[in-house]
Structure 1
C-alpha cells in the first residue's frame, strides 16, 4: 500500500504558505491555495491530529469468492472531532474493472460487489479521500491485492497428437514431446504440475513395446496434474501411435509348383514357382519377398517376385544346352525388402530402460535367410548346326573369273539324340555372285564381281550362309561372310555433263567441267584433261589436272553449236574421249540456251501432232465412205460410151492407178537436230563408240484428190438406170421411191486445192515410224476412182 504525506512549504520564497500533497503512485503533487500565517499554524495543529487519528487496514480479496454480494471488505477507522465524508477512486470503482468496489461515504465501509479473477487482475490501486465540506481533508493511496486460488488446471497445447513408429525402433527412441501450461500464480503449488500416462489402448503387457501383430494403432492418454493445496486440477491429451510393421518375422519357403523341366534352347519359360509364408503385414516392405539364385554362374535363370502372391517365379533367360548338362542344381534363398530384427526382454528394471537383447540383419547372412535346393531338368531337342566362326572375313579381286574360290565356312552339329546331317546354303547374296558347295562349305563365284556395284558398301560385300539339318522341323544355323572386294582399274573417267551452255561475250568466259571415276584410289582422280583437235584459236582449258577444269571461250566465238573433243585420263593413264556439245547464245535474251531449243522442239512436236490428227481424221472419213458404198453383191455398171470412159474390172484390193485427175499437193516439212557424242576407251583393244549427230528432214506430202460434181452425178444416173433394167430379174425387189433433192451445190473453195499424186515422202515418213504405221501409209494413199 502506498501513502502520501502533506507538508507546508513556502511558495517562491515568500511569506504566504501553501500546502503540497505528494502522491507516490502518480508521482504528482497537489498544491493548494496560499494561506496566511495564522492559518498555517492552525492547519499544522489540525493535520497533526488527523495523522494520529487515521488507522488504515490492509485489504485482500480472494479470487473467485462465492458471495453473496455485496459483502463487506473492511472499514477505515479514525478518531475525529468533526464530521467528514469519504470518497473512493481508481481501479474497481471508476476504472477497470468498474463497479467492483464501493464505499459508504458516512461510515467508510468498503464493499465488494462481484467475484474477481486473479488471472484477470492481480492488484487494485485506489485513492481514499476524506472531505470536510468541500475541502479535501486528506488523501491516501490504497492497494488491494487479489489472492490466487487453484482454479485453473494445466492445459496442453494440443488435444490430439498423431505419430508413426516403426516396430523395429529400439528402446529409448524419442517419440514425442507434449507441452502443458498453468495460468495460476507462478511459483506456487497451484501452477506446478507433472505428467502421467493414464492408459494405453488396446492394453498390452509390455507398454514399452508396440507390436504390429497386436494392433497397427495404439491410443495413449497423457495427463497433466497440478499440485494445488486445497484441490488438485488436471487435464489430458490423446496421442495416437501408428505402428508400422517391422520385419520381425522371417519368410519361409513352404512349397513349389511346376514341372521343373525345360527344353534346351527355350527362353522365357518358367519351369518352377516357389511359395513363401510371412506373418508380417501383407504388401509391406517387411512382407514382400526377395529371392536370390545360387549356383547359376552362367546366368541362365532369373527369379522374380509375384507382387500379388509373394511367390518366386523362376524363369529361363539364356538358352540351355542339353549337351552341356541334362540337369541344373540350384539353391534359392529368400529374404525381405526390409532388414530383419528381433527383440527379447532379459530383465525388467524398476526404473529406467529395461535390459533387452536385440539383433538386426539384412536377411542374407548366415541363418537369417531361408533357402531350398531345386533341380531343373533339360530336355534334348533338335539343335541347329553351329558355325565354328559366325562372322568371317575374305578377300576377292574385282572382275575375278567365274569359279574363283573365295572362302570355306565350317559348321558342326552337336546333337546326341538327333540326326546330324546338314547342308550348306546361301542365305543372302544380293548381287548373285556366289555359290556354296552344300557338303564342304566352299564358296566360289558364279558371276563376275564388280566393286562399283551398289551392293558393295565401303568396298565390302556381305552375304549370309546357312547350315540346314534334316531334322523335323529342320533347324538352321547362320554365319556372316564379309568379302572385301579389291579394286581394279576397269573404268575410265567420265564428265558429269556433256552438254554445256556458254554466254556470248567479247571477253573470256569459263565454264566448269567436272569428271568422276567409279574406281577407287589409286585408279581414280585427280584427272588429266586435254583438248583434242585444233581448237586453240577459240577454246582452251583453265587447268589440265584435278577433278574439275574450266572450258574457256576466247573472244571472237560466235553464237552457235560447237563440238569440243575432250580427253580425260586417270592416275594410271586410262582415258576416255568425249564430245562436249557447247551452245553459245546471247544470255541477255535467253538465260539458258536450252530453253530456246526446247521451245522450238515443243513447237515442232505440236505441228507433228496436228498432222497426225489430220491423218486420223482423213482415215475415219475414208472408212465411213467405204462403209456407206459397200454392198453384199457387186453389180457391174453399164457405162455410156459417149463419155469415152472405161471401167476396169479388177480383184486387186489396192487403190487404182488409172486416176487421171490432177491432185493438188499439200506439203509439210519439219526439221530437227540431234547431237553427236563420241567416246573412246582403251583397255586390251581399242574400242570406239559413236553417238552420231545427224540432221533429219522430215517431209510429209498429202494428196487431196477429188472428182468434179458433174462426174459423180453422171455415175449415179447410170447406176439407177442399171437397177431399173435388171429390176425384172429381182423377184424379191420391192420398188423404192427416192426423193429428188435437186442438184448438189458445188463447193468452189475445194476446187482450188491441188494435191499431187506423189506420196513417196509421206510413205517414207510413216515407214520411219515403224512397222505399225505401214498399213496407215497404205490406206492414206489417194484412191483412183474408175468412172
Structure 2
C-alpha cells in the first residue's frame, strides 16, 4: 500500500465518525395533519452545536433554526410509523450528523386528553396574525437612541405567556448590536444611526415562544428598510472627458456624452441629475450645447475653424434633486479637440523682386546628367502640419513630354524635389520651361460660405549647359534575333554609334568588355556583329534564350559611349519527333492503341504531327486515325490473325523533320493484357520466323493430319473443304442446336474437312468433284477457289464470284453458316482444324448438330463400326464469337 493508503483509511474513519446519528426523537400526532402545523421541537445544538445547514429528508417537513418541525402540506398518517431524518452539516469542520424523527399516531381521544393543555393548543393550526408591516428607519437618524422603530405581537399572547426573540443581520450577525427586541413586549429598537448606502435593508427572524420553549406561531421574517437621505452628491465617472469633432461640422452634430452617478437611492429625486455648461475656454461665442438630462454635447457654433481655435475646454456641472438649487452638485472638465480637414489649399511661396511677388524659379543643369537634383520648391498650407490635409503632392503639368524630369515630395520638409531622370541634349534644346502644380494628399473639402480655390502653380526655367560628349549609340538597346544552331561566324547585324557634335561615326572604335556572355563579337571599325559559337538553347547559359551584351564606343578624344545588344535565340527545328512507347499488347477486343510523339523543339517546329505507316503491306492491314495534334490511334483493318507485328511508323513535325519509329504490337488471344504470356505466333508484315521446334512441330502435325484425313475419308464421304479456323474455335467448343429434331442445317449429308492454312505453306485434299480451299504461300495468304464440279468455295461465298482475296485466317459466323448449311446432314461429320503455335488441333463433330440444350457431342460409329474421335466443345457462343 502506497502513501495514499493510510490517508484513505483515515478519511473513511473520519466520515464514519462524522455521520453518526444523534438521539432519536418521537412525536405523537393526530392521523390528519394540516399544512403549517407544528409537529414538535428538536434540540439541534445538543446534536451539533455549529450546524450551518439544516435539511429534512422528507419534503413534507421543514426544520427551523430553533429546531421547530412544521408540516409543509396536509398529511394523512397510516397505521404504521412515519419516519424521516434531519441532517445537520458543519461545512467548515466537514462534520455532519443525523437525527431520526418518528411520528406515531395517537391511540384514542382519551389518551389525547391526558396530554398537556399547552401541547394541545400548540398542535392546533395557528394563523399568521402577528406580522406587522415592514419597519422604516431614516438614514443618518440623530436619535435619541435607543430608538423604537416597531413592535411585533402574537395573538396567542391573549391566552399564553409569550416571550419574543429575534435573529439575523443587525442582531446576532454583522452589523451586530444594531437592533434588539424586548423579550416581554416585542418592541424593536435601534441603537445607532445607519448608512443606507451600506445597509439598504435588514431582514430579521422574530420568534414567539412559551416559557417551556414551544412555538405557537410560525417564525416571522420582518424587514427593516432604511429610508434614503440625500447625503451623497453626484460625481462624474471620469476626471476628464476628451472628445474630437471635425472642423466645419454642422450644428447638431454629436460631439460626445458626459455621465455621472449618485450613490443615493435610485429612481428618487436624490438621484435625478441635471447637466449644464458652466464656462467655455476660450471665452468666445458658445460653440457647444449640453443636454441637461442625457449629458450629450453637440455642436452649436455654425462654423468651427481649427486654424482659429484648435480646441475648447468646457467646465460642466451635474446636480441632483432634478437640478434644483438646494440639490447637491459636482463639476467636471471636458476638452473638445477640433480635427483638421483639408479646407486650405497649398500655395507656392512667393519670391519678392523689388515691389513684386512672383512664383517663378530658374535653375541650370549640364547636358546628359541623370538622377541629379536641380531645384527645391516649397508651399504654404494652413492645415495641420504632418496631416494628409497639409501633405503636398507635386506634379509637372507642362513641359515634360519626354519624361526627362521628375518631382517628388520630401516628407520631412514638405518641399518638392525636381530631378533630371533622362539626359538633356544641349544641341536639341538649350532651355526647358516647366509648369509645376501642387495638391494635398487628402481631397479638398470646401468650408461653408467659402469659394472654390484654383490649383496653385509655378514656372521653372531649366537652362541646359553644353559639355563635350562621347559617342552615342542609336538605338541605345539593339535586339538581334538569331536562329538556333546557326553556323559560327554568321553575320547577324550591325551596331554603330555617332558623335552628337558632328552626327557621324568617323573615327569611332567598338569593343565588348570582357566578363560577359561570349556569344557574339563586334568588328572594331565597322560595328558588324557575328556569332562566335553555335547558339543552342539546350546548352548551359543559353537555356535562358537571351543575353544582354554591353558594347563600348570610343572616339578620337577618348570619350566613351555605351550601348546594349540583346541577343535572343529563336528556336529552330533541330529535333526529330519520337514516339515514346513502342511496345504494345492488343487483346481480342482489338481496342485501338494511342500513339503519342514527343519533340524537343518549340512552336512552330513541333506539333501538329503527321503519322504514316511506311510499309505498304502493313498499311493494308493497319490504319492510323488522327486523335489530336500530337497523337493518333493505331487499329487493325478487319480480322487479321493473332501475332506480333513490327509496324514502321514515320512522324513528321510541323517543320518538316521526319522521325522513324518501329511499333511492335502483340495481337494476342487474351481478354486482358496480363493474360498474354508473350508466346503468340508472329504473323505480322510477312516477316514470320519459325524456330527449330516450331518447324519440327509442323512436320509432325502434317504427318498426323494426313493419317487423320485418310481415316476420315474412309468413313465420311463426299465433301471436302479446306478452311482455316482459329484455335479457340477448334479447341473445346460447343455447337448448340435449338431444335429437338435435326434442323435444316444438317439435311445435306456431307463431310467437310477443314485444313489449317494459318502458317506458311498450305495443305489441300481433292477428291472427285469435291471443292477445296487452298492456301497459297506468300505474304498475302490468298484463298482461291479450286475448279471442279461447279461447286462453291468458302472464298466465293465470302467474296462473291470466287475471286482471290486476303485471308486473315478468320471468317464470320454467318459466312461459315452459309457455306456449311446445305452440306450438313444427320450422318455427316464436321472436322474443324486450325493450327496455333505450330500445334495441330482437330475438332470432329459427328452425326448432327446438338439437339436443344445438349452440352455434349456423342461419338458415332459408321461404315464397319469405325470409332470416330470425340471432342467436347465448351460453348457454341464462344466459337461464334471467334468466327466473327
TM-score band, normalised by shorter chain: 0.3 to 0.5
Q: TM-score, normalised by structure 2?
A: 0.39
Give TM-score, length-normalised by structure 1: 0.43
Q: Which has the larger radius of gyration?
A: 1
